[in-house]
Amino acid sequence: MNRIDRLTAILIQLQTKRIVRAEEIAERFEISLRTVYRDVKALMEAGVPIGSEAGKGYFIVDGYHLPPVMFNQEEASALLTAGKLIEKMTDKSIRTAYESALLKIRSVLNASEKDHLENLQSSIAVFRLPDCRTEFPNEYMAGIQKAVSGRKVISIEYLSSHKQERTTRKVEPIGIVFYSARWHLIAWCRLRKDYRDFRVDRIEKMAVLDECDDRSKHLSLSKYLDSLQHDTDVVMVKALIHKDITRYIGDSKYQHGWVGEVERGNKVEMQFAAFSLDYIGRWFLMMGSNVEIVEPEPLIEKMKELVKELGVHYS
């Protein structure tokens, strides 16, 4: 990227937040802090009203705006691709908002870029297995995002996956995470007096309350996720799986806590961080003799119990 393009990009970045740290600019463009200082000085000399706060960063003085920004072909393609993912991996509230935003973006594209998106539209597809839980409302994500940003307490009616019991709770959200093909709300649960992971598609009713939470007393989302690596409830599992069937495992290994693998001849040694030996054991059971549990010993015993259970069932 030449310097003129970088200066324009820095000016756009400065308009995305109230205050932008010099380190953020340096990291984005892979330049030194000294270069950042020179670039910002060049923008100021060109008449852009940029202010700064010691120890915080730079900001654009209120009232200054760039003229409408045009998108290049690669940027427009990226937005279309993101839309395809959003269509399959988010709920109605997010899909509706994104479709509205994409229409506004398309309206400012030049004719060639509009033609490019039109030609590309039918040539990108995202496949997802049908969601079997269609009976629950699926329009809470936008409300959850507002609650996370505004530090608002949420009241939810939740159906737990294990006990299949419905409870009404007030929770203080710290973030949203996507894993195992589902969106999860991470929040401090006042009922359980601890952090809990709520699958968004299991929320049957939800209301964002006027009550604000005290975010200073909670972990950040990143610290919460880091803490899971040291959770005493997590059991490290090691198993040898025959190469012939590893291609059939696909993405399902991620749903069982896959953390790494090493090839061992005609087998693959996989490691998992498992929250439930019964859950991962039943998954291994589907592989029959193509899997060999290396550790831990309790999982080996659990496999014996599951096999015995099947034997009794079919005797």
Question: Same structural domain for residues 298 and 219?
Answer: no
Which of 228, 256, 283 is a domain's end point? 228
Written as one letter, the residue type at 226 is: D
Q: Which residues contact 23 (CB under 8 A, 6 or more apart)?
A: 33
Location of structure tokens 């209301």: 207
Query: For residue 70, which phi and psi values (nearest 5 degrees)?
Result: -90, 150
Question: Same structural domain for residues 102 and 33?
Answer: no
Q: Please tell me the predicted confidence (pLDDT) of residue 147.
A: 93
In a domain, 126, yes or no: no
Q: Please tell me the predicted confidence (pLDDT) of residue 171.
A: 95
Q: Are 8 and 16 in contact (CB under 8 A)?
A: no
Orientation angle between helical segments 33-45 and 22-29, nearest 10 degrees: 110
In a domain, 67, yes or no: no
Q: Is the pTM of this model over 0.85?
A: no
Q: Please tell me the predicted confidence (pLDDT) of residue 129.
A: 53
Written as one letter, the residue type at 213 is: D
Number of domains in the chain: 4
Burial-class residue 275 by CB neighbours within 10 Å (0-12, 13-18, 19+). Answer: middle
Here the CATH number for the domain that contains residue 56 is 1.10.10.10
In a domain, 133, yes or no: no
In a domain, 134, yes or no: no
Question: Same structural domain for residues 224 and 152?
Answer: yes
Here the CATH number for the domain that contains residue 160 is 2.30.30
In a domain, 128, yes or no: no
Q: Which helix (H) or strand (E) holds 51?
A: strand 50-53
Question: Same structural domain for residues 113 and 89?
Answer: yes
In a domain, 68, yes or no: no
In a domain, 201, yes or no: yes
Question: Same structural domain for residues 149 and 207?
Answer: yes
Question: Same structural domain for residues 98 and 149?
Answer: no
In a domain, 130, yes or no: no
Question: Same structural domain for residues 113 and 148?
Answer: no
Rounded (5°) CA angle 23-28-34: 45
Domain coverage including residue 300 = 235-314
Q: Please tell me the predicted confidence (pLDDT) of residue 167.
A: 92
d(CA 202, CA 198): 7
Closest by CA to 15, choosing from 54, 63, 56, is 63
Question: Same structural domain for residues 213 and 242?
Answer: no
Question: Same structural domain for residues 224 and 252?
Answer: no
Please state whether the peptide bond connecting residue 296 to the residue before it is cis, i.e. omega within 30 degrees of 0. Answer: yes
Q: Please tell me the predicted confidence (pLDDT) of residue 201.
A: 86
Question: Same structural domain for residues 81 and 47?
Answer: no
Closest by CA to 305, choosing from 286, 289, 283, 281, is 281
Question: Same structural domain for residues 10 and 54?
Answer: yes
Q: What is the pLDDT along the chain (315 residues), one digit of tens a residue?
A: 788 889 988 988 888 788 999 999 999 999 999 999 999 999 999 888 999 988 889 998 887 766 666 677 888 888 889 988 888 888 888 888 888 888 878 877 777 888 888 888 888 888 765 444 444 456 899 999 999 999 999 999 998 766 678 899 999 999 998 876 778 899 999 998 999 989 898 899 999 999 988 878 898 888 888 776 655 567 889 999 999 888 888 768 877 888 889 999 999 999 998 878 898 999 999 999 999 999 999 999 999 999 999 999 998
